[in-house]
């Protein structure tokens, strides 16, 4: 039977708390746009995050790239017409994934940058894992869109990273950590940030737009909405 949207391959489970938000948002957008009982046509590869985290901690990005690239190719072989990676940090291996497939790769940093530009924000704060905040794969991609990117100073950077891995990916959302995040954001705004990127999908479980007086860019939602739009071939 024909489907009303193009088939998307999702690489998820990093962590599953954020990946289920991806599926919920994508399916909701498709249903709202197409009506009736429509939902998205998805093929999902969900990982045991402990195995991925071990590769991160070991700095084995080549191994992680081979893993995700191989599975992206398998999703394409299963019928996926585009691939999306449901995590900010693992976009460090985006090039390996793109090399392994011959279908579009919907890059999370590009969808985020587009939303920032629409809001006429030039300087943006980036919160995420240590890998996302310190490495160039994500910041550089944002900067290629003409943005200036600020990351937290220490000890805020370590705190933000530790809350993600010690709490958020384990389903723990604490008021104390939320207060610490908001204080770190205030310091970034004082340094000149005009908006804030939640550059780890789990951060959206802790901080929402209603918590801030500055433009807020929740990357998982922005990415998921862009994926749904691509699936339905709408702008």
Cβ atoms of 158 and 152 closer than 8 Å: no
Q: Which residues pair with 42 in a beta bridge?
A: 8
More confident call, 137 vs 17: 137
Radius of gyration of the chain measured on its C-alpha atoms? 17
Cβ atoms of 124 and 142 closer than 8 Å: yes
Q: Is residue 46 part of a domain?
A: yes
- Locate 222 and state its tokens: 């922005």
Q: Is residue 151 part of a domain?
A: yes
Counted domains in the chain: 2
Q: At 2, is the pLDDT very low, low, confident or very high (cuts 50, 70, 90)?
A: very low
Report d(CA 171, CA 27) in Å as an integer: 22
pLDDT value for 14 = 82
Please indicate, yes or no, whether residues 79 and 153 belong to a single structural domain of this protein.
no
**Rounded mean pLDDT, 30-50:** 93
Residue 31 has pLDDT above 60, yes or no: yes
Q: Is residue 180 part of a domain?
A: yes
Please indicate, yes or no, whether residues 195 and 227 belong to a single structural domain of this protein.
no
DSSP states of 103-116? S-B--HHHHHHHHH
Percent of all residues in the chain with a pLDDT value above 90, rounded to a whole number: 81
Mean pLDDT of the chain: 93
DSSP state of 194: S
Residue 3 has pLDDT above 70, yes or no: no
Cβ atoms of 5 and 34 closer than 8 Å: yes
Domain that holds residue 58: 8-108+222-232
Report d(CA 18, CA 87) in Å as an integer: 8
Report CA-CA distances (Å) from 217 to 13, 79, 104, 130, 227: 21, 31, 23, 19, 16
Residue with tokens 């801030």: 212
Using left for φ > 0, alpha for ψ between -120 and 50, and beta otherwise, residue 13 falls in left
Q: At 4, is the pLDDT very low, low, confident or very high (cuts 50, 70, 90)?
A: low
Cβ atoms of 181 and 204 closer than 8 Å: no
- Locate 160 and state its tokens: 């933000």
**Rounded mean pLDDT, 85-107:** 94
Please indicate, yes or no, whether residues 70 and 138 belong to a single structural domain of this protein.
no
Please indicate, yes or no, whether residues 128 and 66 belong to a single structural domain of this protein.
no
Query: So which residues are the catalytic ones?
Result: 87, 200
Name the least confident of 134-143, 152-161, 190-199. Answer: 134-143
Please indicate, yes or no, whether residues 163 and 202 belong to a single structural domain of this protein.
yes
Q: Which helix (DSSP H) or strand (DSSP E) does residue 224 occupy?
A: helix 219-232
Q: Is residue 181 part of a domain?
A: yes
Query: φ, ψ for residue 196 (rounded to 5)?
Result: -130, 125
DSSP states of 110-178? HHHHHHHHHTT--EEEEE--HHHHHSHHHHHHHHTTT-EEE-PPTTHHHHHHHHHHHTGGGT---HHHH
pLDDT digits (tens, 9 = 90+) for 152-179: 999 999 999 999 989 998 889 999 999 9
- Locate 33 and state its tokens: 């746009």
Please indicate, yes or no, whether residues 117 and 206 belong to a single structural domain of this protein.
yes
Please indicate, yes or no, whether residues 167 and 129 belong to a single structural domain of this protein.
yes
Omega prior to 233 cis, within 30 of 0: no
**Rounded mean pLDDT, 185-191:** 97
């Amino acid at each position: 039977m024909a489907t009303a949207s193009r088939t998307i391959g999702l690489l998820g489970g990093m962590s599953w708390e954020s990946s289920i938000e991806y599926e919920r948002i994508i399916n909701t957008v498709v249903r709202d746009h197409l009506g009736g009982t429509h939902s998205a046509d998805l093929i999902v590869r969900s990982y045991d995050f402990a195995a991925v985290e071990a590769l991160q901690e070991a700095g084995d990005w080549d191994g992680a790239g081979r893993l995700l690239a191989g599975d992206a190719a398998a999703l394409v072989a299963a019928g996926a017409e585009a691939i999306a990676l449901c995590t900010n940090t693992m976009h460090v291996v985006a090039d390996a994934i793109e090399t392994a497939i011959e279908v579009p790769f919907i890059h999370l940093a590009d969808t985020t940058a587009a939303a920032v530009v629409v809001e006429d924000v030039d300087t943006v704060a980036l919160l995420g894992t240590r890998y996302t905040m310190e490495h160039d794969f994500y910041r550089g991609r944002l900067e290629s869109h003409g943005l200036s990117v600020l990351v937290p100073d220490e000890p805020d950077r370590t705190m933000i990273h530790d809350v993600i891995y010690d709490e958020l990916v384990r389903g723990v959302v604490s008021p104390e950590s939320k207060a610490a995040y908001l204080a770190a954001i205030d310091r970034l705004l004082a340094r000149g940030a005009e908006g804030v990127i939640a550059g780890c999908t789990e951060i959206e479980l802790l901080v929402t737009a209603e918590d801030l007086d500055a433009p807020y860019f929740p990357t998982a939602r922005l990415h998921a909405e862009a994926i749904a739009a691509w699936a339905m071939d709408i702008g």
